[in-house]
Amino acid sequence: MMLRLAFPLVVSHLPPKKPSPIPPRPPPARRYAASAAAAATTSSSSSSSSSPPPHPSLPSLPPSSAYVHLPFCRKRCHYCDFPIVALGSSGSISPSRGEGEGADDPRIVDYVRLLLREVAATRPVSDDGVPFQTVFFGGGTPSLVPPRLVAAVLDALRGRFGLSACPEVSIEMDPGTFDAARLRDLVGVGVNRVSLGVQAFQEDLLRACGRAHGVEEVHEAVGIVTACEGLQNWSMDLISSLPNQTEEMWEESLRCTVDARPTHVSVYDLQIEQGTKFGQMSLLGLQLLYSPVNSDAVAMLAGYCSCSQLFRVLPKYTPGVFPLPSDTESANFYKIASKRLSEAGYNHYEISSYCKPGYECKHNLTYWQNRPFYAFGLGSASYINGVRYSRPRRMKEYAEWVQKLEDGTWSHESRSSDMKDMAMDVVMLSLRTAWGLDLQSFSKSFGKSLALSLCNTLKPFVESGLVIAMDMERQALPHSDFELVLQNDGDFRSRVAFIRLSDPDGFLLSNELISLAFGIISP
């Protein structure tokens, strides 16, 4: 009976042949290797942040930020496609060590040595470059790296590029990978911002997505972070649209988050990436894996084919298809998060980012403002002189790359920056934030004609409220004012100065609205 029911279940949840042209689904918003500006409500667009960032523009300034990839994890989560090194049982909590390297995992020690070689071999963009204002240790699970090795990286960056008097130094940490002593030591070497990868407050959901920690470890980690002297700035990560996640579960996670009182919250919608465990799993395979009642079906299927054969022939794990939430449910999760976090005093300053006033992630603002930045480590990507380039994702190739960098035999492909690509970057990054797109600056950088065409394309969405026109003070304007500017051939020096997506409905459709803009920029 179970075997017969399983196959119709797969077919009955396939997506329709002609999907809605603008499905209400949260936009992809991942850590900006990582994922990751002050919010307005749906009806108002006045910014509640102390001061808006400069408009994203051409990357002419010297980099003042650095991303450092520390790839070590206890295990690979089912949704993760980042370049990592799984340490297994050796990645358990251990107290901070002394200076002897013998106590540390040699894989971590060897990698940090390689990382320090890359930093030393990297030439600053200019001799008069500004010192780093932000450093972000991402991964992986950087909290597995001993504090003395984190300090060695910071010392190398300080010696090669300089650090400002009070830089924002962030580190990603997972519950179960640090104790109070380790966090105190990290703060002691210069870390002043923590990003805690909680993801969910339900044991079943954590287990379903392959997290190495449980709910008890989440509460322990929150207690350690909130009790740490000298650490006031910390963020919590949550993931929505997990397998079998319900609205009640999501509400509970948001309540627990608000009760923990982080200064920043990042909310990501689950993305199914090729090559991940989720990407490889079939729908039936997941049901068999997480439903003990289907053990009879497992035994019956085992008589016909292997698990690997079964996974290959059955439909893949698909967003919007059970046991993942439907697109409508995912959109509702996004709206609930926006509502609950806004009610709790958080500004929705970027599609996936919320903060208490003044606690925007300064490092992530580098990305949203389209400013250049350095990156170091396995698989990381830099943005220098208008060119984005990545390091190898495999350790052996990365080590060879570092050697070429030291020998002076490596150089990234030199090319002139494409203005269309830059314009698309500016539109995409600006419309992800509550500050929106600066029309006058965009017109100056890329031409008044393009700015006018862009506005004409978005005009119907201004009328519907998905796009909000704003004045110089970022106050919402009636769509009639927007139409008047278009009739006056786009005088963006007058009434209409910015456009942004509404929260949450415009943000929900950001992919589609930004795609329309891309069609105008590069038809």
**420-470 confidence digits (pLDDT tens):** 988 999 999 999 999 999 999 999 999 989 999 999 999 999 999 999 999
Co-location of 185 and 252 in the same domain: yes
Neighbours of 300 (CB within 10 A): 13
Does residue 24 surpass a pLDDT of 50? no
Instruction: Sheet containing 163-173: give its strands across.
Output: 347-350, 353-355, 264-269, 233-240, 193-199, 163-173, 132-138, 65-69, 374-376
In the prediction, which pLDDT does 293 show?
A: 45
- When computed from its CA atoms, the radius of gyration of the chain, rounded to whole angstroms, is 24
Token reading at 508: 């929900």
Do residue 245 and residue 324 come from a single domain?
A: yes
Please tell me whether residues 160 and 230 are part of one structural domain. yes
**How many Å apart are CA 280 and CA 270, to the nearest integer?**
15
CA 457, CA 455: separation in Å to the nearest integer? 5
Helix (H) / strand (E) containing 318? none
DSSP bridge partners of 138 = 69
In a domain, 27, yes or no: no
Q: What is the CATH number of the domain that holds 338?
A: 3.20.20.70
Of 369, 387, 410, the one marking the end of a domain is 369
In whole angstroms, how far apart are CA 313 and each of 198, 291, 316?
Answer: 34, 20, 9
Q: Do residue 361 and residue 423 come from a single domain?
A: no
The single residue listed with the structure tokens 């740490």 is: 228
Question: Cα(459)–Cα(479) distance, rounded to whole angstroms?
Answer: 8
In the chain, the amino acid numbered 393 is R
Query: What integer pLDDT is reported at residue 159 of this predicted model?
Result: 96
Lowest mean pLDDT among 25-39, 216-230, 390-404: 25-39
Do 202 and 140 share a structural domain?
A: yes
Domain of residue 138 covers 65-90+105-279+318-369
Q: Are residues 328 and 455 in the same domain?
A: no
- Looking at the fold, whether 131 and 232 belong to one and the same domain comes out as yes
In a domain, 362, yes or no: yes
Asked, for residue 298, whether it belongs to a domain, the answer is: no
**Could you tell me which of 184, 109, 195 has the C-alpha nearest to residue 153?**
109
Residues 426 and 354 in one domain: no
In a domain, 3, yes or no: no
Q: Are residues 360 and 425 in the same domain?
A: no
Of the candidates 399, 382, 383, the one whose C-alpha atom is nearest the C-alpha of residue 112 is 399
User: 273 pLDDT band (50/70/90 cuts)?
Assistant: low
Q: Is residue 40 part of a domain?
A: no
Domain end call among 369, 403, 429: 369
Condensed to tens digits (0 to 9), the pLDDT of residues 393-402 reads 999 999 999 9
Per residue in 366-385, pLDDT (tens digit) is 999 989 999 999 999 999 88
For residue 482, being part of any structural domain is answered with yes
CA 223, CA 169: separation in Å to the nearest integer? 21
pLDDT score at 401: 96
Indicate if 356 and 429 belong to the same structural domain: no
Across-strand partners of 169?
A: 135
In terms of residues, how long is the chain?
523
| Statement to judge: residues 430 and 336 lie in one domain | no
Say if 302 falls within a structural domain.
no
Report the pLDDT value the prediction gives residue 168, as an integer from 0 to 100.
Answer: 98
Which of the two residues, 385 and 138, has the higher pLDDT score?
Answer: 138
The count of domains in the chain is 2
Q: Which of 369, 387, 411 is the last residue of a domain?
A: 369
484 CB burial (10 A radius; 0-12, 13-18, 19+): middle
Asked whether residue 434 falls in the same domain as residue 361, the answer is no
CATH code (residue 477): 1.10.10
Q: Is residue 408 part of a domain?
A: no
